[in-house]
Structure 1
Amino acid sequence: MIVFSNTTPILALSSIQRLQLLPKLFGKIHLVTEVIDECSVGGPIAVPALHGFDWIKPVQSMPIQQTSVLLELDKGEKHTLDMASKYKADWVIIDEKIGRNMAEYLGLRVTGTLGILLKAKQQGLISSFTDCVKAMQAQGIYYQATLITKLAKTVGEG
């Protein structure tokens, strides 16, 4: 399975020390070098050195072919979607609405951090979807409240 992730899901899962959910759910995760660079810059959320994980496959970006379609996206999103499209990825993990819309427009299957947490809850890898979301919110990561409530109900919470 080929799975690409953008920066925000890496940051969000790192904020609650749940980055290891990614290899448990998907095996290897492809990250374009722009995403690895964005994660290594530092900030309020500490992200471990991504080159140190054997389940992360760094991908060197190539010049973007579909620049007009991807114009509104940031550097990491542009290269993630471009390379995911070139690799014919099975999944793209991305949270930002515009990025998700572009991924779907390109014919890519999309999930996000909340989707990862739902899948982890369903597989018994975490005890509570809601507790993980609340922990992310305590770190300054926010998602739409109505979406959180709706998703929590799908796993019997709330």
Structure 2
Amino acid sequence: MQVFSNTSPLCNLAIIGQLPLLWRFYTQITIPYAVWAELQELDHENARECLEDARASGLIYVIPVLDQSLIRLLGEGLHLGESEAIVLAYEKTGDLLLMDEHDGRAVAQRLGIPITGVLGILRRAKLEGLIPSLKSEITRLRAEAHFFIAPKLEEALLHSVGEMS
């Protein structure tokens, strides 16, 4: 399975110490250079070190994006990392793109790229018994990574894993 990622899922999972969940589900995550550059600018030192270790061990693979004209076109409404991640997944016919940002997800969906984000990863981890509580991980995302989740989405997610009746 070829999995690509934008910055947000990787940094948010690294910040809350759950980056290893990705290696339970996927062999390798491929990212474009713009995403790697954004990850290198993280203020969270432990998260940055975890990501650097993952790259050094081959779990995160960084490659260039070829279609610069499509990047420029997408760049009119998206950040560079989002644009490059979407174009890379599109070029390589990726099986999955990890992306949290609403606008980027909408573009990826229009291009037919399957997507999930940090919440989808954590939901899967809960369903597979890899984490004891989705609610506690969402709480950590808010507190430690300043992650926003709409109350209705949180309620639906918690209900889907049996943490809310």
Instruction: With the length of structure 2 as denominator, give the TM-score of the two structures.
Output: 0.89
Q: Distance in 1 between matches of 2:44 and 2:59?
A: 24
**Correspondence for 1:73:** 78
State the AA in 1 paired with 2:143: A
- Determine if contact 1:34/1:75 at 8 Å carries over to the other structure: yes
Q: Distance in 2 between matches of 1:51 and 1:113?
A: 19
State yes or no: 1:121 paired with 2:126. Answer: yes
**Correspondence for 1:30:** 30
Q: Secondary structure at the match of 1:4?
A: strand
How much does 1:71 deviate?
2.2
Listed one character per residue, the Cα deviations across residues 7-53 of structure 1 (whole Å, up to 9, x for unaligned) are 01111101110011111112211111111110011324632214223
- Determine if contact 2:15/2:44 at 8 Å carries over to the other structure: no
Aligned residues: 158
State the AA in 2 paired with 1:128: S
Q: Distance in 2 between matches of 1:53 and 1:8?
A: 21
- Determine if contact 1:8/1:94 at 8 Å carries over to the other structure: yes
Q: Distance in 2 between matches of 1:64 and 1:23?
A: 30
- Determine if contact 1:70/1:102 at 8 Å carries over to the other structure: no
How much does 1:125 deviate?
1.2
**Correspondence for 2:58:** 54
How much does 1:86 deviate?
0.3
How much does 1:123 deviate?
1.2
> CA 1:69–1:79 in 2, change beyond 3 Å: closer, same or farther?
closer
TM-align CA RMSD: 1.5
Q: Secondary structure at the match of 1:47?
A: helix
State the AA in 1 paired with 2:121: I
How much does 1:115 deviate?
0.3
Listed one character per residue, the Cα deviations across residues 119-155 of structure 1 (whole Å, up to 9, x for unaligned) are 1111111111111010111111221121011011101
- Determine if contact 2:99/2:117 at 8 Å carries over to the other structure: yes
Q: Distance in 1 between matches of 2:119 and 2:106?
A: 16
Q: Distance in 1 between matches of 2:160 and 2:120?
A: 11
Q: Secondary structure at the match of 1:62?
A: coil
Moved over 3 A (4+): none
State yes or no: 1:64 paired with 2:78. Answer: no
Q: Distance in 2 between matches of 1:74 and 1:53?
A: 28
**Correspondence for 2:147:** 141
